[in-house]
């Protein structure tokens, strides 16, 4: 997809080749302000290859970041490079970018195949080439068997996969997905996650935004966390979790006899508190989540109790943001 260059007038497109050793995405001290509102502040990051999750609560700056990457809005300051090129001076890199926005109007009266092949022809393919390309991308997302059904009859998950197929026309090297799992049922989420992981295994650079931690965790270990427009964390999710495991966590266990289970758990070294908030619930406080979970199964067996549920309410994005900003759970 091509960016919106209305703010700058139409730039000149030169014959272009990507810089061989340049990162696919490079942001250097990028900021975006709207009057007194700081949507992004001093974002610096470099991404190449594989899947990266962009995490943040609503209003964190994820959509603003994507709009800047796609040339929809210009940063107030800082530098943006795609494949080593400033896209505001030369939009050629966008020929290698596929974008799936969170909200996009689709033509419900068209079939998925017609929708994709029409877009392919707009990108310079012949009629026959467009048909072959539509078959290829719809097969990749698992929709080839319904390719000739109207989009208006598709479920939310099928519509999302159609949008992803649309973004994969011409085999882009960079794919940007804005909340692709939003509103999908569990089966559709799993299917879309498999598609995203496969793109990463193929060596594509894939960026996926979400505000739900466990969704991103099932797709990739590489994450970027945005918080009020600032880059809060960048790197391997497991490394960040290792830091968080040393912070007090609560584990809620559902069982018929919580006091009997508590007698087995209290001797675990990493346990520093036990509460009984409800009749059939046991709440454990621990400073070492990993050590606790490694010893919990044996403690349950020793107690002879049946456990109905184990929940870690501190293991979500909201809590992680709170801990990383020093404010506890937000």
130, pLDDT greater than 60: yes
Local confidence band at 9 (pLDDT 50, 70, 90 cut-offs)? very low
Per-residue model confidence (pLDDT) at position 8: 43
> Looking at the structure, do residues 45 and 188 belong to the same domain, yes or no?
yes
> Looking at the structure, do residues 176 and 320 belong to the same domain, yes or no?
no
> Looking at the structure, do residues 212 and 275 belong to the same domain, yes or no?
no
Which long-range contacts (C-beta less than 8 Å, at least 24 apart) are formed by 80-84? 80/26, 80/27, 80/30, 81/22, 81/23, 81/25, 81/26, 81/27, 81/28, 82/24, 82/25, 82/26, 82/174, 83/18, 83/19, 83/22, 83/24, 83/173, 83/174, 84/18, 84/19, 84/22, 84/23, 84/26
Report the range of poorest mean pLDDT among 80-84, 173-177, 317-321: 317-321
> Looking at the structure, do residues 221 and 254 belong to the same domain, yes or no?
no
Instruction: Count how many domains the chain has.
Output: 2
**Domain stop point among 223, 241, 259:** 241
Per-residue model confidence (pLDDT) at position 13: 46
The arithmetic mean of pLDDT across residues 67-94, rounded, is 92
> Looking at the structure, do residues 99 and 193 belong to the same domain, yes or no?
yes
> Looking at the structure, do residues 251 and 279 belong to the same domain, yes or no?
yes
The arithmetic mean of pLDDT across residues 253-261, rounded, is 84
> Looking at the structure, do residues 46 and 185 belong to the same domain, yes or no?
yes
The mean pLDDT of the chain is 84
Residue 150 domain flag: no
For residues 194 and 226, is the Cβ–Cβ distance under 8 A? no
Give the CATH number for residue 183.
3.40.50.300
- Token look-up 């979970």 returns 293
**Domain stop point among 211, 241, 271:** 241
Residue 124 domain flag: no
Residue 194 domain flag: yes
The whole domain housing 213 covers: 25-104+171-241
Residue 158 domain flag: no
Per-residue model confidence (pLDDT) at position 289: 74
**Domain stop point among 222, 241, 260:** 241
Per-residue model confidence (pLDDT) at position 276: 82
- What number of other Cβ atoms are within 10 A of residue 312's Cβ? 16
> Looking at the structure, do residues 193 and 99 belong to the same domain, yes or no?
yes
Per-residue model confidence (pLDDT) at position 302: 86
Per-residue model confidence (pLDDT) at position 280: 65
Give the CATH number for residue 295.
3.30.70.100
Task: Output b/e per residue, 7-28; b: 16+ Cβ within 10 A.
Answer: eeeebeeeeeeeeeeebbbbbe
Local confidence band at 175 (pLDDT 50, 70, 90 cut-offs)? very high
Residue 40 domain flag: yes
> Looking at the structure, do residues 249 and 100 belong to the same domain, yes or no?
no
Local confidence band at 132 (pLDDT 50, 70, 90 cut-offs)? very high
Q: Which carries the bigger pLDDT value, residue 291 or residue 13?
A: 291
């Amino acid at each position: 997809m091509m960016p919106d260059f209305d703010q700058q007038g139409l730039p000149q497109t030169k014959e272009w080749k990507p810089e061989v050793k340049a990162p696919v995405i490079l942001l250097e001290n990028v900021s975006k302000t709207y009057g007194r509102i700081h949507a992004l502040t001093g974002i610096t990051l470099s991404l190449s290859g594989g899947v990266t999750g962009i995490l943040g609560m609503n209003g964190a700056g994820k959509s603003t970041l994507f709009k800047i990457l796609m040339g929809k809005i210009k940063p107030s300051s800082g530098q943006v490079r795609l494949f080593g090129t400033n896209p505001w001076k030369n939009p050629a890199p966008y020929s290698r970018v596929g974008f799936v926005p969170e909200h996009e109007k689709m033509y419900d009266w068209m079939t998925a195949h017609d929708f994709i092949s029409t877009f392919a022809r707009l990108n310079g393919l012949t009629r026959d080439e467009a048909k072959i390309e539509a078959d290829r991308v719809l097969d990749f997302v698992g929709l080839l068997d319904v390719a000739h059904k109207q989009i208006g009859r598709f479920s939310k998950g099928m519509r999302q996969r159609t949008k992803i197929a649309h973004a994969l026309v011409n085999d882009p090297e960079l794919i940007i997905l804005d909340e692709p799992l939003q509103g999908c049922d569990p089966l559709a989420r799993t299917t879309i996650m498999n598609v995203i992981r496969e793109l990463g295994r193929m060596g594509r650079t894939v960026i996926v935004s979400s505000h739900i931690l466990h969704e991103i965790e099932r797709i990739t270990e590489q994450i970027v966390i945005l918080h009020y427009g600032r880059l809060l964390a960048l790197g391997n999710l497991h490394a960040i979790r290792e830091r968080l495991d040393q912070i007090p966590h609560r584990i809620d266990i559902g069982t018929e006899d919580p006091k009997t289970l508590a007698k087995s758990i209290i001797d675990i070294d990493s346990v520093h508190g036990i509460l009984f908030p409800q009749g059939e619930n046991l709440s454990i406080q621990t400073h070492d989540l990993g050590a606790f979970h490694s010893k919990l199964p044996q403690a349950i067996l020793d107690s002879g109790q049946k456990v109905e549920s184990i929940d870690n309410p501190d293991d979500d994005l909201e809590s992680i943001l709170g801990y990383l900003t020093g404010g506890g759970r937000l």
